[in-house]
Amino acid sequence: MSNEIASHINALRKEIPSDVTLVCVSKFHPVEAIREAYEAGERHFGESRVQELKTKIPQLPSDIHWHFIGHLQTNKVRDLLKLKPYLIHSVDSERLLQTIQDEAAKLGIVQDVLLEVHVAKEETKSGFAPEEISNFQYQISHCPNIRIRGLMCMATNTDDEAEIRRCFSTVKELSIVNSQFSILSMGMSDDFRIAIACGSNMVRIGSTIFGERTYH
């Protein structure tokens, strides 16, 4: 399997510009698979469950940058922050933002986060409405223990490239509003090429690297 994962990564690297960060989405995949991707040169990995991340961290090299990419419940924030994630991608409400601020202040840390923007047509996807992002100065100034580094989104699940492009372009335009929004986390296995063309500088790719997930 190691050669397979390494070859997948090498193929992706030929398509992803050097200034775009590849986050290998390792959720539900075993530690051995992550180690193989690490040995192929990757350092950024994405997890979506606090407990799974807590289990994996001690088994893997300390220079891995762990990204939290799943829906984050407020009652899990303290446990997550204790794990010192490199970046939380999925801040989707003011309530969650405030909880991260409160818990980060108690721990004496400053946490880097992205604001999740809801641009997809599915109502099941969460995040701030685009118009809310344009007026975010209050939250930024009142959260000294948070660094809002940029924006994250998931495009509509469709084969319609124009619709996917609309989602990513909307978020790209929002990022121009604030100079702090330097990271644009957009694009997954099926749509990362469109995302990069629309200005993404961070892509979250799992199945293309590791194959289909084993849920547990």
Give the separation between CA 199 and CA 193, rounded to whole angstroms: 10
Percent of the chain with pLDDT over 70: 95
Q: How far is CA 48 from CA 26, 80, 93, in A?
A: 9, 11, 17
Question: Which sequence spans correspond to the domains of the chain?
Answer: 2-210
At residue 178, the pLDDT reads 77
Give the separation between CA 94 and CA 77, rounded to whole angstroms: 14
Q: Which tens digit of pLDDT belongs to each residue from 89-107?
A: 999 999 999 999 999 999 9
Q: What is the mean pLDDT of the chain?
A: 93
Q: How far is CA 98 from CA 103, 137, 161, 169, in A?
A: 9, 14, 36, 28
The answer on pLDDT for 74 being more than 60 is yes
Quick one: which of 94, 97, 120 has its CA closest to 186?
Answer: 120
CATH of 2-210, one of 3.40.50.300, 3.20.20.10, 3.40.50.1260, 3.20.20.140: 3.20.20.10
Q: How far is CA 93 from CA 5, 74, 118, in A?
A: 35, 10, 11
Give the separation between CA 47 and CA 26, rounded to whole angstroms: 6
Q: Which tens digit of pLDDT belongs to each residue from 172-200?
A: 999 987 778 899 999 999 999 999 999 99
The answer on pLDDT for 129 being more than 60 is yes
From 60-64, 79-83, 135-139, 171-175, the region with the lowest mean pLDDT: 135-139
122: confidence class by pLDDT, cuts 50, 70, 90: confident
Q: Region 155-174: what's the mean pLDDT?
A: 96
At residue 137, the pLDDT reads 62
At residue 45, the pLDDT reads 98
The DSSP letter of residue 178 is -
